[in-house]
């Protein structure tokens, strides 16, 4: 991992693949970063050329081993003291931008941001989607992501204080229902692979129970019904994805027995 460049205070770091339709708006919202580092996983839609044209420093590594490993690789390319981890379908709002600029002038700390997702014509303020506090701003040499294939976690080995920033990180998460289903299926598969590698086992009864509990939590307990039809759609698809990931684990368990 490169040492800190004294002239680079903040590095915005992205992992991407085939994000040409969303990347420009994301990078434009990062105009306050001292450098933008993009690690491409093998795009075929012009993502790399677009990122370079917009001033990002682009590297490719198509040896996909999961989200955690890819984020580690991307962070290793950064040179700033602070890392802002962001995805191509996210935008830094103006209030959050001001908060970030103030935060990087303070002592080392891990900062969480609140992600607000836009789905099919509205911002989702219920279900499990909001509030959605996630650690995204941290000192590069003091924290980093684990090796988890999906739903990777930021590790804090030095026990840095964790604080929250005001202002939302806008998340334009799904292009279409097909995109929603495809993306949830990808995450379900990656989850099942990781659990199987850990020696975990699944059952169809477990799949059914987890799928049902996911729907009840998102739509009833988390008041997804207040997000209208979009809330119902998200709850249904996510409960199906939850069923699928446990069913996938069950299939892998049987195949290896």
The count of structural domains within the chain is 2
- Nearest-CA neighbor of 190 among 252, 123, 127? 252
Final residue of a structural domain among 138, 172, 206: 172
- Give the contacts of 105 (CB within 8 A, at least 6 positions apart): none
Higher model confidence: residue 183 or residue 250?
Answer: 250
Residue 13 · residue 83 · CB < 8 Å: yes
Confidence band for 255, pLDDT divided at 50, 70 and 90: confident
Is the same domain home to 65 and 120?
yes
Copy the structure tokens of residue 95: 């209030």
Final residue of a structural domain among 144, 172, 200: 172
Confidence band for 256, pLDDT divided at 50, 70 and 90: confident
Copy the structure tokens of residue 53: 């044209």
Burial tier of 102 (Cβ tally within 10 Å: 0-12, 13-18, 19+): exposed
CA distance 254 to 257: 5
Is the same domain home to 59 and 102?
yes
- Give bridge partners of residue 57 from the DSSP assignment: 37
pLDDT tens across 33-67, in order?
A: 999 999 999 999 999 999 999 999 999 999 999 99
Is the same domain home to 225 and 198?
yes
Is the same domain home to 151 and 184?
no
CA distance 31 to 220: 40
* CATH number of the domain that residue 35 is part of: 3.90.550.10
Is the same domain home to 153 and 210?
no
pTM: 0.91
Confidence band for 7, pLDDT divided at 50, 70 and 90: confident
In a domain, 224, yes or no: yes
pLDDT surpassing 90 at residue 5: no
Is the same domain home to 138 and 58?
yes
CA distance 176 to 178: 5
Is the same domain home to 201 and 234?
yes
**pLDDT value at residue 99:** 98
Is the same domain home to 119 and 189?
no
Percent of the chain at pLDDT > 70 equals: 98
**224-231 long-range contacts, Cβ below 8 Å, gap at least 24?**
224/126, 224/127, 225/126, 226/125, 226/126, 227/122, 227/124, 227/125, 227/126, 227/127, 228/122, 230/119, 230/120, 230/121, 230/122, 230/124, 231/124, 231/126, 231/127
Is the same domain home to 26 and 146?
yes
**pLDDT value at residue 175:** 87
Give 48's DSSP letter.
Answer: H
SS3 12: strand
- Provide the pairing of β-strand 90-92 with 162-172: antiparallel
Is the same domain home to 81 and 51?
yes
- Nearest-CA neighbor of 219 among 203, 240, 205, 200? 240
Instruction: Provide mean pLDDT across the span 199-218.
Output: 96
pLDDT surpassing 70 at residue 4: no
Which domain covers residue 208, as residue numbers? 177-255
Neighbouring C-beta atoms of residue 116, cutoff 10 Å: 21
Instruction: Provide mean pLDDT across the span 155-170.
Output: 98
């Amino acid at each position: 991992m490169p040492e800190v460049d004294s002239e680079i205070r903040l590095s915005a770091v992205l992992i991407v693949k085939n994000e040409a339709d969303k990347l420009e708006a994301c990078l434009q919202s990062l105009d306050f970063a001292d450098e933008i580092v993009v690690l491409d996983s093998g795009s075929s839609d012009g993502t790399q050329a677009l990122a370079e044209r917009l001033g990002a420093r682009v590297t490719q590594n198509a040896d996909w081993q999961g989200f955690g490993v890819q984020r580690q690789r991307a962070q290793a390319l950064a040179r700033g003291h602070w890392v802002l981890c962001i995805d191509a379908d996210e935008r830094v709002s103006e209030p959050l931008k001001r908060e970030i600029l103030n935060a990087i002038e303070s002592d080392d700390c891990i900062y969480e941001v609140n992600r607000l997702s836009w789905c099919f014509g509205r911002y989702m303020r219920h279900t499990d989607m909001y509030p959605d506090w996630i650690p995204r701003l941290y000192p590069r040499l003091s924290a980093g992501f684990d090796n988890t294939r999906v739903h990777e976690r930021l590790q804090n080995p030095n026990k840095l204080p964790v604080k929250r920033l005001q202002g939302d990180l806008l998340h334009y998460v799904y292009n279409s229902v097909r995109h929603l289903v495809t993306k949830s299926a990808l995450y379900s598969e990656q989850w099942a692979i990781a659990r199987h590698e850990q020696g975990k086992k699944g059952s169809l009864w477990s799949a059914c129970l987890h799928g049902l509990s996911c729907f009840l939590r998102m739509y009833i307990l988390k008041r997804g019904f207040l997000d209208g039809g979009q809330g119902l759609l998200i709850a249904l698809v996510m409960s199906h994805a939850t069923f699928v990931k446990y069913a996938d684990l069950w299939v892998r368990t049987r195949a290896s027995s």
